[in-house]
Amino acid sequence: MINIHQLFAIASLCISVSLSGTPEPPIYNSLSTSHPESALQGMVASREKLASEAALTVLRNGGNAIDAAVTLGFAMAVTTPQAGNIGGGGFMLIHSADTDTTVAIDYREKAPLAAKRDMFLDEDGNVDKELSRYSHLSAGVPGTVAGFALALEKYGTITLAEALAPAIELAKKGFPINEDLYQSLKTGKARIEKHAPHAIDLFYDEDGKALPPGHTIRLPELAKTLALIAEQGADAFYKGPIADLIVSDMQSNGGIITKQDLAQYQAVVREPVRGTYKGYEIVSMPPPSSGGVHIVQILNILEPFDLKESGHNSARTIHLMAEAMKFAYADRSKHLGDSDFNPIPVNWLTSKTYATDIRSRMNLDHATPSLKILPGEPIHEGLDTTNFTVMDKHGNAVANTYTVNFSFGSKIMPPGTGFFLNNEMDDFSSKPGVPNAYGLIGGEYNSIESEKRMLSSMSPTLVLKDGKPFLLSGSRGGSQIITVTLQVLLNVLEHGMNLSEAVSAPRIHHQWLPDVLRMEEGISADTQNLLEDMGYEVKVGGAMGTANSVSLQDDVFYGAGDPRRPDTHAVGF
């Protein structure tokens, strides 16, 4: 029950808001057990507190969402080196209020010019996982610096140097290790020691133990690298002294990235994938991301069903989602790749007509065996990526997902640079029909070719309501990114959850092969038993994804950091 002091506080808030001419944040539903952050001027959600606060400062100082997002991305390259990066790549979805348009910036890594289809096969024709994951050959040409520079040039209001300033400060003066980085350092020590021994002193004590949470670390080489980009622009990375350091390390260790590879790398502005779901417009990433295509595809399949009536995470609702997921992931293995190299049937895959065809093939009462959908081979699991979202008071919105693939990527840090290189070449189908580290099978469209971008599951996604930004989401989690992002959308649009509830709710995942329905803790044993009776092999396991999300509802911004990772952070003002 609200007491007299609370009533007085609420009344005072209403008066002050009314006098200032700004809307009053709605009082939370008393039935909700989890609540998002709220604000009136803008919102930022990311995996790391210091980076979120750097982005919020940009918004406070008059910058737009694009300025804040790029600032955040560079800051995370310092404070979250296991996932944030300048040695990898990703995708950025931007809604520009000035033009009332949404664009997709593709800064995914590319295969070097010297890349060959069979470069990771041994003499017996089998994939050499050490080569594809932990060698200099495993690195694609990085795209992050080019992507961020392009976003600022076309849609930002601050300079590249201004966007880099907080990151340089953090790298130079230091920052406290958080729990997330500490756990990654513990897990990655053996590989980092093997592939980047010069980085050991940065992250580990004299006894070889990961520096604990709260310990301040400084990254002077990374500070120097970022300062060069601030002074000389992206050319410092792709044509100047940073490129020289990367190429020198490649030449010394059997790598194939050359000065030409770096000099001709370009980020690309693409038309997003679009769909609709019960009156909302869904906008997401096009190929070489598979995320947008399959989020729209799965939503199309599910749209005629009343999932709200069947209940959130009920056996029926989970069954319908899992069936739709299986068909989508089977299509992913067969049809998706880099659209610059192969014709990708995006319009067909995202059509309502095709969704109707899939529904006719679904068994509404029993699990369809995955091999009846499409023959394939058994596959595995994996992750480490990061997603962040930003909205500003002007109507601009950014969802960004970027990665170095594994935690700390290839674990290779070119001497003098201070950053880890990606191992994204493993995201190609090194041998069509054989799964990559994330348990995903690819076909000919995702085979290795010179200058091709490797297929990705990264899914930064925007939901528009009446043509205006309503919800931004995305996730980390390898093959689970698509289904995690999907469930955040469904939790809000279908089940009426507030953003914090939507991000926190237990998740499920099915990726066609292996033919296993994965669940987080928190879904009842009775539901699991019902699903097993329907023919599913159910496995309950660890947390899926990190879906840091923001939304704008009734002129109030909401933000939710995903509780599955320590230090996720949503801040607004």
Range of the domain at 336: 270-382+457-572
Q: Is the per-residue pLDDT at 26 higher than 50? A: no
Phi, psi values for residue 56, rounded to 5° = -65, -35
| Claim to verify: residue 243 and residue 111 sit in the same structural domain | yes
CA distances from 34 to 28, 418, 488, 570 (A): 10, 39, 14, 14
| Claim to verify: residue 213 and residue 112 sit in the same structural domain | yes
Among 86, 89, 21, 76, residue whose Cα is nearest residue 46: 76
Question: Are the beta carbons of 388 and 47 closer than 8 angstroms?
Answer: yes
Burial class of residue 1, CB neighbours in 10 A (0-12, 13-18, 19+): exposed
Model confidence pLDDT, tens digit, residues 316-356: 999 999 999 999 999 998 899 999 999 999 999 999 999 99
Return the number of other C-beta atoms located less than 10 Å from residue 126's C-beta.
12
| Claim to verify: residue 105 and residue 73 sit in the same structural domain | yes
| Claim to verify: residue 305 and residue 404 sit in the same structural domain | no
Q: What is the DSSP string of 539-552?
A: EEES------EEEE
- Work out the mean pLDDT of the chain and round it to a whole number: 92
User: What mean pLDDT is predicted for residues 357-367?
Assistant: 97
Question: Are the beta carbons of 457 and 438 closer than 8 angstroms?
Answer: yes
Model confidence pLDDT, tens digit, residues 61-89: 999 999 999 999 999 999 999 999 999 99
Higher-confidence residue: 19 or 552? 552
Between helices 241-252 and 220-232, what is the axis angle to 10°?
A: 130
Q: Is the per-residue pLDDT at 128 higher than 50? A: yes
| Claim to verify: residue 248 and residue 371 sit in the same structural domain | no
| Claim to verify: residue 214 and residue 319 sit in the same structural domain | no
Burial class of residue 339, CB neighbours in 10 A (0-12, 13-18, 19+): middle
Question: Are the beta carbons of 481 and 474 closer than 8 angstroms?
Answer: yes
**8 falls in which pLDDT band (50, 70, 90)?**
very low
**380 falls in which pLDDT band (50, 70, 90)?**
very low
Number of domains in the chain: 2
List Cβ neighbours of 171 (8 Å cut-off, separation of 6 or more).
78, 218, 219, 220, 222, 223, 226, 418
Domain presence at residue 28: no
User: What mean pLDDT is predicted for residues 384-400?
Assistant: 95
| Claim to verify: residue 58 and residue 192 sit in the same structural domain | yes
Domain presence at residue 450: no
| Claim to verify: residue 263 and residue 323 sit in the same structural domain | no
- Please tell me whether residue 105 adopts helix, strand or coil conformation: strand
Domain presence at residue 35: no
| Claim to verify: residue 354 and residue 399 sit in the same structural domain | no
pLDDT at 3: 39
Domain presence at residue 404: yes
* CATH number reported for the structural domain that contains residue 524 in this entry: 3.60.20.40
Select which of 102, 225, 317, 385 is catalytic: 385
| Claim to verify: residue 229 and residue 172 sit in the same structural domain | yes
Phi, psi values for residue 275, rounded to 5° = -155, 180
| Claim to verify: residue 128 and residue 187 sit in the same structural domain | yes
Domain presence at residue 24: no
Q: Does the active-site annotation cover 385?
A: yes
The structure tokens listed for 150 are 């392009």
Domain presence at residue 295: yes
Q: Is the per-residue pLDDT at 437 higher than 90? A: no
- Separation of alpha carbons 558 and 555, rounded Å: 10
The dihedral over CA atoms of 357, 361, 367, 371, expressed in degrees to the nearest 10, equals -100
Which of the residue ranges 428-437, 490-499, 545-554 would you say has the lowest mean pLDDT?
428-437
Q: Where are the alpha helices (DSSP H) in 336-403?
A: 346-349, 352-361, 370-373
pLDDT at 28: 52
Model confidence pLDDT, tens digit, residues 240-263: 999 999 999 999 999 999 999 999
Q: Considering the entire predicted model, what is its pTM?
A: 0.93
| Claim to verify: residue 171 and residue 112 sit in the same structural domain | yes
Higher-confidence residue: 33 or 341? 341
Q: What percent of the chain has pLDDT over 70?
A: 91
User: What mean pLDDT is predicted for residues 372-401?
Assistant: 81
Domain presence at residue 219: yes
pLDDT at 334: 87
Domain presence at residue 42: no
Question: Are the beta carbons of 408 and 420 closer than 8 angstroms?
Answer: yes
